[in-house]
Chain A
Amino acid sequence: MPTRFKRSSKAALMVMVPATTLMLASCSSEEPVQTAVYETAEQCAGFYNPEQCKADFAAATALHPQVAPKYSDKTSCEVDFGAGNCETPATAAAAAPATTNTTSSGSSFMPMMMGFMAGQMFSGGGRSNLQAQPLYKSGDDRSTFRTATNQPVSRFTGPVKVMPSRMVPKPGAAVNRGGFGAQAQKRSEQQSSGG
């Protein structure tokens, strides 16, 4: 036997084996928290306290122009959220009950609010660490309700458990996407971009 090999001592694959689903282990000790997803305050009122539903819906609607991702043109927004699902902050304000002035420019586009996630409804007297917020649906997945930061919440309306740390609303950034890749398209879609 040679004393020194010129090849790797082992060659294992963890990810590339299709049958294996690799779950990235979460390191946090966070507990999931109960909440609910509805499309409208009325839908929510069928199951919970109507006043609380209205309050949470109003809070979510007020947050909507602040947290929704912003696009400089309608087409870019519709690429992510689907045709007909984008609006300007002005349109959102006109449709919303008693929203205060938006901070976004009138010329930007954002996805329409598709529903809301309850905040205080489940706090059971104490303060919940969940904030009522608007939910959206992406163009290529019309079932999943997602937060403005693209966190999936639920594929159905009704009660759901979520991790509070992933549900923190943030001001909606003006995001552009897809600015790499044109040269490869131009030179050939099937050819490898490598050498």
Chain B
Amino acid sequence: MKKIQIEERPGWRNYAESVGFNFHTFDGEAYWDETAYYQFSLAQVEDDLEAPTEELHQMAISLVSEILADEQKLTQLAVPEPYWDWIKQSYDSAQPHLYGRLDLAYDGTGPAKLLELNYDTPTSLYESGFFQWVWLEDQILRGKLPANADQFNSLQDQLEHRFANLQLAEPFYFSSVSNNIEDKGTVLYLLDIAQQAGIDARFLGLDEIGEIDGQLVDTENFPIQTMFKLYPWEFMVREDFGRHLLTSKTQWLEPAWKMLLSNKGILPLLWQKYPNHPNLLPAFFETAATQPLTAGWVRKPLYSREGANIELVDSEGQRLQVAGPYDDAPFIRQAFHALPKFDQSYTLIGSWVVGDSAAGICIREDNSLITKDSSRFSPHIILD
């Protein structure tokens, strides 16, 4: 696995804005970074990333029915009890899922290690599925990359195919917090793909969702029959309209049962079921008896996002902590596993699944071991 410098495409920022990529730069700092790319061999991609991704995904899916059958596990995952039956119903009726992203530590050799599952609201989708794809095509056309360079990225094809086959009632709504540029960009990308798949897809701001007699409705008060939401389940069930989820005749993407997998509590449960699996790191639920953090361990809240509230102590005893607002729920402990360092940054691989199929990777770099929202996104190629 190599990191190689390359010339940026001239005018790429203007191009980015012309195709809706309005968050390529974040608070004046680069987010999309095409000054370098990563290079993998096909064997690395297929053997070390693609296959383990699908295996880890199946392992996670296999846990859902076990969690639903065990009140202790549901409690450990801090799933509010009034929603247990509803979640079970969404699983028993085989509500389909769309996608997810596994975060992996991988340096080109040895088994990739699962750090987290982002199975409810994974982001960086647009950059992964579209923008890095275009980057590759451009750089090949410009002669900066060989014509036989490939990329592990079939996200957009697979998403379109999956939307076309889901048989969703229309209109199909896409919702996110209206004034969050990054969220809206991600959701508009998915809406775009859904429309390309022939679906009557429409955007509806989260704050615009209404309710009549327990049924969620759009701005014209028509019932919302199907909705994709880029907003965490664990927020929705704790908000004013959470109770309407139980009564509204609405099919959700992601389905309610996915809430069980997008919770860091899934990491101890995976370790319990598959101890010493080569792609897993030891993980445990924190209890009142758990000792303070020691060298080689990471402390994570069940529900944090973008690195918030994570605390780690590396193998040398160096402590690193990110502040955040997610301190009101239980924590887990996971064994520390260093991200590989390329130049001055630490590199994290995000591995996508669409349905049950691996769909590609995205690469993010951060100056610290805890990858955050503002980390940089780097493209990659496959070349033997």
Given contacts A7-B151, A179-B244, contact A186 B220 (CB under 8 A): no
Query: Is A8 within 8 A of B19, CB to CB?
Result: no
B52: CB under 8 A from chain A? no
Question: B152 to chain A: which residues have CB within 8 Å?
Answer: 6-7
Query: In the assembly, what is the distance between CA of A98 and CA of B211, in Å?
Result: 33
Docked complex: B291-337 residues within 8 A CB-CB of A: 305-306, 308, 325-326
Q: Which residue of A lies closest to B203 (CB)?
A: A15
A180 to B354, CA, bound (A): 27
Q: A6-B382, A15-B191, A176-B210 are in contact. Are A184 and B231 (CB under 8 A)?
A: yes
Query: Please, which residue of chain B has its CB at the minimum distance from the CB of A193?
Result: B231
Do B151 and A150 have beta carbons less than 8 Å apart? no
Contact partner of B157 among A8, A13, A149, A178, CB < 8 A?
Answer: A8
Number of interface residues of A (CB under 8 A): 45
User: In the assembled complex, which residues on chain B have CB atoms less than 8 Å from the CB atom of A187?
Assistant: 325-326
* CB of A73 closer than 8 Å to a CB of B: no
Number of B residues near A (Cβ < 8 Å) is 75
User: Which B residues are in CB contact (< 8 Å) with A17?
Assistant: 18-20
Q: Are A175 and B221 also in contact (CB < 8 A) when A7-B154, A194-B186 are?
A: yes
| Residue B123 is within 8 A (CB to CB) of chain A in the complex | yes
> Are A195 and B122 in contact, with the CB atoms below 8 A?
yes
Contact of B196 with A by CB under 8 A: yes
Contact A150 B221 (CB under 8 A): yes
B150 partner residues in chain A, CB cutoff 8 A:
2, 5-7
Give the complex CA separation of A183 and B306 in angstroms. 16
Q: 1/0 per residue A159-177: CB within 8 Å of B? A: 0000000000000011111
Q: Select A7's contact among B120, B123, B360, beta carbons within 8 Å.
A: B360
Inter-chain contact B123/A173, CB cutoff 8 Å = no
A192 touches B182 (CB 8 A): yes
With A and B bound together, what is the CA distance between A190 and B373 in angstroms?
11
Kindly list chain B residues whose C-beta atoms are within 8 Å of the C-beta of A18. Answer: 18, 20
Which of A14, A16, A192 has the most chain B CB atoms closer than 10 A to its own CB?
A192
Contact, CB under 8 Å: B136 / A7: yes
Contact present for A193 and B176 (CB under 8 Å): yes
How far is B206's CA from A179's CA once the two chains are assembled, in angstroms?
A: 9
The answer on a CB contact under 8 Å between B157 and A179 is no
Q: Which residue of B lies closest to A15 (CB)?
A: B192
Query: Which of A16, A186, A188 has most chain B Cβ within 10 Å?
Result: A16
Q: List A contacts of B219 (CB < 8 A).
A: 150
Interface residues of B in 175-212 (CB under 8 A from A): 176-177, 179-180, 182-183, 185-186, 188-189, 191-192, 195-196, 200, 206-212
B221 touches A193 (CB 8 A): no
Least Cβ distance of B54 to chain A in Å?
Answer: 14
A-B contacts counted at CB < 8 A amount to: 176
Contacts A6-B151, A14-B192, A194-B230 given; indicate if A177 touches B305 (C-beta within 8 A).
no
Partner of B221, one of A13, A173, A194: A173
Residues of A within 8 A of B232 (CB): 183, 193
- A191 near B373 with CB under 8 A, answer yes
Nearest chain B residue, comparing its CB with the CB of A13: B192
Residue from A69, A183, A193 with most neighbouring chain B CB atoms (10 Å): A193
Given A6-B45, A194-B186, residue A177 in contact with residue B151 (CB < 8 A)? no
Q: Are B239 and A181 closer than 8 Å at their CB atoms?
A: yes
User: Contacts A2-B150, A15-B191, A192-B180 known; A173 to B231 CB distance under 8 Å?
Assistant: no
Residues of A within 8 A of B189 (CB): 13, 16
CB proximity of A20 to chain B, nearest CB, Å = 10
Q: How many Å from the CB of B223 to the closest CB on chain A?
A: 11
Contacts of B262 in A (CB 8 A): 195
Known: A178-B209, A178-B210. 18 other contacts (CB 8 A): A7-B152, A8-B157, A10-B157, A15-B191, A69-B221, A176-B211, A177-B207, A177-B208, A180-B206, A180-B231, A180-B236, A183-B238, A190-B180, A194-B118, A194-B122, A194-B182, A194-B305, A195-B101
Contact sample, A vs B, 14 pairs, CB 8 Å cutoff: A13-B192, A15-B192, A16-B19, A17-B18, A18-B20, A180-B206, A181-B239, A184-B235, A192-B182, A192-B306, A192-B373, A193-B183, A193-B231, A194-B122
